[in-house]
Structure 1
Amino acid sequence: MNDEFKPYIPADKVVPEMTPTSIIMGLVLAVIFGAANAYLGLRVGMTVSASIPAAVISMAVIRVIMQKDSVLENNMVQTVGSAGESLAAGAIFTMPALFIWAKEGVMDKPSLIAITVIALFGGLLGVFFMVPLRNALIVQEHGVLPYPEGTACAEVLLAGEEGGSSAKAVFIGMGLGSLVKFLVDGLMAVQSVFVLKLEALKTEFAAEVYPALISVGYICGPRISAYMFAGGILGWFVLIPAIVTFGGDVVMYPASVSVSELYASGGASAIWANYIKYIGAGAVASAGIISLIKTLPLIVRTFVDSIKSVSKAGQVSYERTALDMDIRIVLGGIAAIIVAIWLTPAVPVTFLGALLIVVFGFFFSSVSSRMVGLVGSSNNPVSGMTIATILIATICLKISGDVGVHGMQGAIAIGSVICIAACMAGDTSQDLKTGYILGATPIKQQIGEILGVIAAALAIGGVMILLDNAYGFGSDNLAAPQATMMKMIIEGVMNGNLPWSLIFIGAFISITVEILGIAALPVSIGLYLPLELSSTIMLGGLIKLFVDKKFGAENGDSGKGILFCSGLIAGEGIVGVLLAVLTVVGLTEKMNMSAVIPTGNLQALILIVIVSAAVLKAAIGNRK
């Protein structure tokens, strides 16, 4: 079926593609979207795709400002730029655990070099693994694997003249997101959370004012947002009141005081921190494993199909649109990474361990690439794969006698490399699909991905260290939900000191939700995170529901709402990183205006309404 496919730019036509403009813009966007997604993922445990916003911004600059007409140049920008978001997603799912351990005095903080090296190993492996798989998954199965984000990105790039007006939505969103973040966390002029205490119910309702949360809800849509909110309701309006009502004077582990004392001193938040967090961790771990088990037959089948397709698709083609990176360079690069992993102190494993990391990495990367082709990046069970990897690695390390600090570092390092590789492979496959539709040169895209990985790996360490110094991983500001959960799993296996009763309560809640036919993972994430996050995310989902109902799900959003929300996320994330820099150098205290400007629930509520109205206006546009 792929023989009949003709790309937008024919193979015999050469147009500007890998130019200084496209590479420099792509590298800048890789760092920006990498930092923004790192911040977002550490706050709410979810990241958003950077491909379409990067494509739109590149069209605004290259097509509108520079007056150049080259769709492949724009494609190169999004190829390089989206690498940052994927690498950041893999890194923040695992590596913050090392910082939390350092804060607890268990080990030293990871160095900038260690973070960069681990991120680089995982990112390069993800790109290298996709080189031999490209012909099998992208070319041979064109029309079978839809690759929804890659195809959508190609459609955006082919929209041509519409790119300029679409870019405007991204930039306006970035401006508003930056302004709100600066007002709330920079000047401290507005309270960050709207809180309504409900003493009769022994709990409280809360909603954060941040635009990124509303944007996540809008982009994910009403169903996923509702599942997350349902998890929040279960935690804060069922479990917390039940614990307070029936706990009374009982001292329940892990708290060291009675439930009534805990509630009197810290309110519902203290109950959440001591009990619900562990229930939520059990639910998330269980949901991740359930998603992996559900897709296991498909995973095995698609991996076998991929290997068969590679062996059948060995013919050499010298057409521009079929040129891949030299397989000798790819295999040499993989071999060099195996040796580097073995010799690098940041990844404390033997040579056999380094080889197993690459074997497991290739397996999960090929699975990830095909899964995003079938169901899209948003539904790719990378977290489930990482949980499975962490569990297997920790058990193997403990059996071999590698316990304590060294074993815990090893488990996280192994999980990090494989998680980043799987995320990068999924992103690379989406980008290569976009390029296949447009008629890009694969080898140039693959080189672009490597450049994006290098830039993002160099930046992610600094971003993570800054964010940890400013806010602290595992805190209310940066919950780092996945990494905290990975930490709990490793500690549980190594030390056996987890409150297992709470973990199993969460696990069986997750199983019950799955039996009811509801996706357990978003519900579990909502249970694990504070209610103030999932309630604001739900607001974004309700705005999307309103737009879809009013104008129809297919044409209700002309794309401007998604782009505007992507801009809000990017703007807030960038200012979050900048404020982290100012916090570290001690300037944020001097900017604090809370002493002279009255803050409270009313101002927070007004800001939530303003941001919600802006998202609604962007989504509706000029429609009546």
Structure 2
Amino acid sequence: MSDARTVPIRQQLSWRAIVLGVVLSVVLSAANAYLGLFAGLTVSASIPAAVLSLGILRFFADANVLENNIVQTAASAGESIAAGVIFTLPALVMLGYWTDFPYFQTVLIAGVGGLLGVIMTVPLRRALVDDSALAFPEGQATAAVLKAGYGETAAVGIGTLLAGAGLGAVAKLGASGLRLWQGTAEAAVSIGQNSSFYIGSYLSPALLAVGYIVGINIALPILIGGLFAWWVAIPAVMAFGGADLPSGVAGAQQVWSEQIRYLGVGAMLVGGLAALWTLRGQLFGAFKQTSSTVLPSEKDLPRALLIGLLVALAIPMSVLYSVLLDSVVGGVLVAFAMLGAAFLFSAVAAYMAGLVGSSNNPVSGVTIATILITALGLYLLFGAEQAGPASALIVGAVVCCAAAIGGDNMQDLKAGAILGASPAAQQIAQILGVIAAVCVLSPILSLLLNAYGMGVSDAAHPHALPAPQASLMVAVVRGVFQGGLPWAWVIGGGVLALATLALDAVLARRGGSFRMPVLAVALGLYLPLSLSVAIALGGLVAWLGGNRTAPEGRGLLAAAGIITGEALMGIFIALPVAFSGNSDVLALDIGGLPLIWPGALLMLGLGVWLWRLARETGSDVSTHS
């Protein structure tokens, strides 16, 4: 295996590695932007990017494994920055502060957040990667894929990835473009005169694949949260106070939208704060260790460069906050608060990535805590009208992007440490990946907004992307600045989160692999049940296939391909829809309502395929060292 001392940085950061990494960063950021707005979840792009890199660079005789590592490092930055953006910036549109996603403001906010994530985690590298027992599971998996080399292994892997992408794209075109079948199967069972029990599932291969990747230990708690909301809380509200509500599916969805989803808000708030409290000792220890360690300039980016970048990023944000608050002093104070929160939450995300991986990192939970604290502070200092929710959301967006990149950065640095890569080369690749992704996210988000809508569906956009995290951010800031937040449900969600934390502690003491992560349960409380069911089916497929913890081998690559194919097709379909202003522009007239069974059969077929791949032994592409 090559070592950084024998492979110069210029050979790691080759032009072909940079170009391929930047291109994949753009593609994967677009795919994850769609997926996050649709499902409220994103998945790590490191392993798919590593396989694609191996498949492409294998045609160059002098390519080395550290070039492939640079490609996946830059590419995964695009996925991570997309998560930070779609969790927060759509909230500015939902509030009416933006009508679309203005290019330069989007680039500024997302770019500052992403670059802060790179900068803030540099001083933590030794403590969390080199001198720590943290597993960084996806970093180890990525390194194992890259160690496999360029032979038949890479060809098999990229073939599986592309096959999944093709199937995902065809499924999305048939359901959302041509409208050959319904995208959701749902029904409600009436109990008594008013109460209804809702059941349904999106017929989305991407959601099936998401559940397969995150595994049963995440998918099942999401489903449990959803079942409590839709089978306990909603029927109770309809039974005791639903005389004026419509019956069936419409009534259940109305109660969820107006009341029950705020259980998720409270649970997310408590879960995010609990994550911070749990990690307090480890973080303080990391800071103490870092302060006494001089990082060698030949391994990390020079400190002088990082300080210069920090100042350069803080100045435009201070100006932006000063304009929003109509106060120079206030703008500077908010900018300092933003920098402090970005450092703290980047460290939290980095540590959590070491524990549970990037895909399961509770970035949205800590972002909600940031927005709530910032909103309360701005309200007390500047009042509701002067500050407004926009300032709090922009602080939250910067922090969310920083935290997303922070966790991803450490995961990539772990892979590099195993392979013998130069951290400085990887940090440069991260910066390039962030810049490339933020330059294209604004038009992509505007396209999706005009084609599908975001948040609540209406007559103009009957198939709006749910954007669950962004909707939750809107609920929080509106509740602080305008009132009207149903605090009883928020408090109830907090109580449920405390009960979940207690149950998780019991499960931890008993041992075993199954746990009850509070943020997964909170997400289930907040998501439509149809999303949770589809994700849970994917987790069940992985479990039945023998993957009790994390997916392995070609099944992981097939699932990643399905997600990417469906997401990219969703963006492709959005082009004619946005330009024509007609959501049915591609729909075929097949007579009558679209059927359910073709989509259900497709889900069944893909589930069987993933199950068979999960059962493979001696997989051609290993994802664990």
Answer whether TM exceeds 0.5 for this pair: yes
| Counterpart residue number, 1:620 | 615
- Asked whether 1:377 is paired with 2:364, we answer no
Shift in alpha-carbon separation, 1:304–1:240, aligned structure 2, 3 A: closer
Deviation track 1:208-256 (CA, whole Å, cap 9, x = no partner) reads 111111011111111221111112221222222222222243xxxxxxx
- CA offset digits 1:584-608 (Å, max 9, x no partner): 1117533211444862232332222
Partner of 2:91: 97
Letter in 2 for 1:85: E
CA spacing shift, 1:436–1:34, aligned 2, 3 Å: same
Q: 1:365 to 1:197 in 2, by over 3 A?
A: closer
Number of the residue aligned with 1:507: 494
1:265 and 1:75, CA in 2 relative to 1: closer, same or farther beyond 3 A?
closer
- Which of residues 1, 24, 30 is equivalent to 2:25? 30
Q: Given the superposition, is the C-alpha separation of residues 594 and 522 from structure 1 closer, same or farther in structure 2, using an over 3 Å criterion?
A: farther
Matches of 2:324 and 2:128 in 1, distance apart?
31
Tell me by how many angstroms 1:79 deviates: 0.7
Q: Deviations over 1:516-535 (max 9, x none)?
A: 33322212211211111111
Deviations 1:174-219 (A, max 9, x none): 1111110111111111110112332347233111111111011111
> What is aligned with 2:511?
none
Write the mapping of 1:124-143 to structure 2, written as runs, cut at 5 A.
124-139=115-130, 141=131
Aligned residue among 254, 262, 267 for 1:270? 254
- Corresponding residue to 2:316 among 335, 340, 354: 340
Structure 2 CA distance for aligned equivalents of residues 312 and 279 of structure 1: 44
Q: Deviations over 1:486-509 (max 9, x none)?
A: 111111111221122222233323
Alignment check: 8 A CA contact 1:99 1:468 kept: no
Does the Cα contact within 8 Å between 1:22 and 1:77 map onto a contact in 2? yes
Give the equivalent residue in structure 2 for 1:541. Answer: 539
> Corresponding residue for 2:597?
602
CA distance in structure 1 between the partners assigned to 2:324 and 2:127 by the alignment: 32
1:574-589 alignment to 2 at 5 Å? 574-586=568-580, 589=584
| Structure 1 residues 404 and 595, CA gap change in structure 2 (3 angstroms) | farther
The answer (yes or no) to whether the contact 1:547–1:557 under 8 Å persists in 2 is no
Change beyond 3 A, Cα 1:596–1:9:
farther
Tell whether the 8 Å contact from 2:46 to 2:72 is kept in structure 1 after alignment: yes
SS in 1 for 2:22: helix
Structure 1 position 421, deviation (Å): 0.8
Q: Tell me the equivalent position of 1:253.
A: none
Whether 1:288 and 2:272 are equivalent positions in the alignment is yes
Give the CA deviation at 1:265.
9.0
Where does structure 1 lack aligned partners over 5 or more consecutive residues? 1-6, 250-257
User: Structure 1 residues 405 and 203, CA, compared in 2 at 3 Å: closer, same or farther?
Assistant: farther
Equivalent AA in structure 2 for residue 331 of structure 1: I
Equivalent runs, 1:146-225 vs 2, <5 Å: 146-160=135-149, 161=151, 162-200=153-191, 202-225=196-219
Q: 1:497 to 1:566 in 2, by over 3 A?
A: same
Unpaired runs of 5+ residues, structure 2, are 458-463, 505-515, 620-625
- Residues in 2 aligned to 1:302 and 1:509: alpha-carbon distance in whole angstroms: 26
Superposed CA RMSD: 2.5
Distance in 1, Cα, partners of 2:301 & 2:291: 17
Task: Give the TM-score, by structure 1 length.
Answer: 0.89
Partner of 2:473: 486
CA distance in 2, matches of 1:316, 1:271: 57
Residue in structure 1 matched with residue 291 of structure 2 by the alignment = 311
- Counterpart contact for 2:542–2:610, Cα < 8 Å: no
Amino acid in structure 1 at the alignment position of 2:80: S
Equivalents in 1 of 2:16, 2:449: separation in Å? 33
Q: Counterpart of 1:145?
A: 134
Aligned with 1:54 (options 42, 49, 54): 49
Q: Which amino acid aligns with 1:415?
A: G
Residue 42 of structure 1 aligns with which residue? 37
Q: Distance in 2 between matches of 1:282 and 1:456?
A: 32
Distance 1:95 1:88, change over 3 A: same
1:525 maps to: 523
Alpha carbons of structure 1 residues 379 and 174: separation in structure 2 relative to 1, 3 Å = closer
- Aligned pairs, number: 590
1:67-111 alpha-carbon deviations (Å, 9 max, x no partner): 554101111110110001111111112111101112xxx665452
2:6 aligns to what SS in structure 1?
coil
- The 1:597/1:58 distance shift into structure 2, 3 A limit, reads farther
Whether the aligned pair in 2 keeps the contact of 1:212 and 1:569 (CA below 8 Å) is yes
Q: Secondary structure of the equivalent of 1:516?
A: helix
In structure 2, how many angstroms separate the alpha carbons of the residues matched to 1:55 and 1:329? 29
Matches within 5 A, 1:415-434: 415-434=396-415
Corresponding position of 1:302: 282
Task: Tell whether 2:337 aligns with 1:393.
Answer: no
Q: In structure 1, what residue type is equivalent to 2:32?
A: N
Contact 1:292 1:381 in 2 (8 A): no
- Normalised TM-score (structure 2): 0.89
Task: Kindly indicate whether residue 455 of structure 2 is the aligned counterpart of residue 474 of structure 1.
Answer: yes
Deviation at 1:157, TM superposition (A): 0.3
Instruction: State the distance in 2 between where 1:136 and 1:507 align.
Output: 33
Match of 2:306 in 1: 330
Amino acid at match of 1:12: T
Q: Deviations over 1:267-307 (max 9, x none)?
A: 422232222223333333333333333x2xx33x3333333
Q: Tell me: CA distance 1:396–1:17, structure 2 relative to 1, closer, same or farther (3 Å).
A: same
Partner of 1:202, secondary structure, is strand
Q: CA separation in 1, counterparts of 2:426 and 2:25?
A: 14
Q: Which deviates further from its counterpart, 341-350 or 219-228?
A: 341-350
Q: How far apart in 2 are the matches of 1:405 and 1:352?
A: 15
Q: Does 1:123 align with 2:107?
A: no
Distance of 1:402 and 1:237 partners within structure 2 = 40
Spell out, residue by residue over 1:291-350, the C-alpha distance to the aligned partner (whole angstroms, 9 max, x if none).
333x2xx33x33333333333321646xxxx43222111101101111121123687561
By how many angstroms is 1:621 displaced?
A: 4.7
How many Å separate the matches in 1 of 2:314 and 2:106? 17
> What amino acid sits opposite 1:614 in the alignment?
W
Q: Quote the Cα distance in structure 1 between the aligned partners of 2:272 and 2:251.
A: 30
Q: Does 1:456 align with 2:437?
A: yes
Q: What does the per-residue CA deviation read over 1:25-57, in whole Å, with 9 as the maximum and x for residues that have no partner?
A: 111111111111111111221110001110001
Give the residue type in structure 1 aligned to 2:110.
A
Alpha carbons of 1:557 and 1:369: their partners in 2 closer, same or farther (altered >3 Å)? closer
Structure 1 residues 264 and 308, CA, compared in 2 at 3 Å: closer, same or farther? Answer: closer
- Is 1:403 the equivalent of 2:367? no
- Write out the 4+ residue segments of structure 1 that deviate beyond 6 Å after TM superposition: none
With 594-603 and 146-155 compared, the bigger mean Cα shift is at: 594-603
CA distance 1:596–1:311, shift in 2 (3 Å)? same
Query: Structure 1 residues 224-233 or 239-248, which shifts more?
Result: 239-248
Contact persistence 2:118–2:409 (CA under 8 A) = yes
Does the 8 A contact of 2:268 with 2:365 survive in 1? Answer: no
The 2-side partners of 1:189 and 1:623 are apart by 39
Change (3 A) 1:361 1:280: closer
Q: Aligned equivalents of 1:450 and 1:57: distance in 2?
A: 20
